Amino acid sequence: MTAPNVEKPTLSIPWEGVRELFHSWSGKGDLFAGLAAVLRNDEFSRWTKREVERRAHRVLFENCCQSLQRMPVRVRDWLAIIPVHSRVSRVASPAPQGRIDWAATRQTGWPPREFVGRTRQRTSDEALLGALRWTVERMLLVYRDASFRDLRRKKPLVDEQLEALDQLVKRPELQQVASALPDSAVIKDLRRSGPNWRIVADLADLLRQEEGPDLIALAKAQIMPDEDLASALFHLGVFGLVLTSLRADGYRPVSLRPLHGGASGAAYEVEFAGQTWYLWFEAGGLWPKYGQVEPYVEATSGLLRPGQTKSPDIMLINEESRRALIIECKYSRDHKYIRSGYSQALAYLTEARTSMIDLGVAFVVAPSEMVSTLSTGDTLVGPVSFCAPEQLKGAFMAAFAELCR
């Protein structure tokens, strides 16, 4: 896989649908797992949540490079800016220490049983150091993830700065404090502490966004610039649009399982006028559910490298009335690739008509920038339409209403 190009303009994402899904997701773990659920169905790769996080960190590392370039390349330059404060404390000891307070010492008796004095102790600002330690450790983790596979960096190398950070985090000055995720108040303190600390603040601000609750901001910053991840995000957004469309028309989809985590079966159940429809997310599990083998798998079983089960991206099916809507998502600027969605949607519709349904409709959804208007071709197995996400909402519900008759 190629490294993401964070400067390349990206195609639009149906954020309305993405927000619908994010309402029930608790943090970046759910986001990465949801993306992995889409990507792991790729015939040529098997993604895990951790692999999605590594891929997202390739984008994050590129975004951090500008701050890294401005950082010191020697550990001693870092140590020189660590804030140190002096604190005077009163001590009593059997032997003289520091500056003796003779009046206080005389009160203990004479000759003195103990000497009372003052000592000066040097302490570091723990809040700033805790934030620095967190920033350095997080930056090094992001770098290691970004370098997990071939990273073709277009920006000037920052190896010296990273090596200095690697040495700095092992120093006792940082090891003596706990790593602490900086909040906005600490970020402000960092900015007021000097030029190099302002760079730390900029870097910490970038890194801490991944730990925040705003999944939309995280998706825009770290997912959209990567084509593979953006394609999966588009898929999630289209699925979310189906949910919002159903809910807007008064239906109440009931969640049956999370979209990720290895669960199988339909993701939602939709009741309408005594009918039960099942909404599938990555519908490959349909064939085992029916105790059948997909025709494609049977057709390729005699090859030296047989094919694996292929599944519609999204499918809404009524098992009793044997009707279904199928959606294939195509996120690309390649017109030929988008057109290939026709043969895929037609194949899914044909296979479903073979043993599962008697009536069906298929949609191929592509980014708005690649679709001028909704268009439909009628076939023997059912209509196949190309549309953008904003056109899908009305077309999908119209087709659903027709199938419910």
Of 316, 311, 310, nearest to 242 (Cα)?
A: 316
Helix/strand/coil for 157: coil
Of 316, 306, 319, nearest to 362 (Cα)?
A: 316
pLDDT tens for 138-169 read 999 999 998 865 545 544 579 999 999 999 99
Global pTM reads: 0.83
Rounded CA gap, 104 and 114, in Å? 10
The answer to whether the CB of 56 falls within 8 A of the CB of 146 is no
Rounded CA gap, 403 and 359, in Å? 8
Question: From the CB of residue 375, how many other CB atoms can be counted at a distance below 10 Å?
Answer: 12
Q: For the chain, list residues with pLDDT below 50.
A: 1-7, 85-86, 121-124, 151, 154-155
pLDDT tens for 255-274 read 998 887 656 789 999 998 88
The answer to whether the CB of 257 falls within 8 A of the CB of 263 is yes
Q: What is the DSSP string of 245-264?
A: HHHHTT---EE-S-SSSS--
Per-residue pLDDT at 403: 93
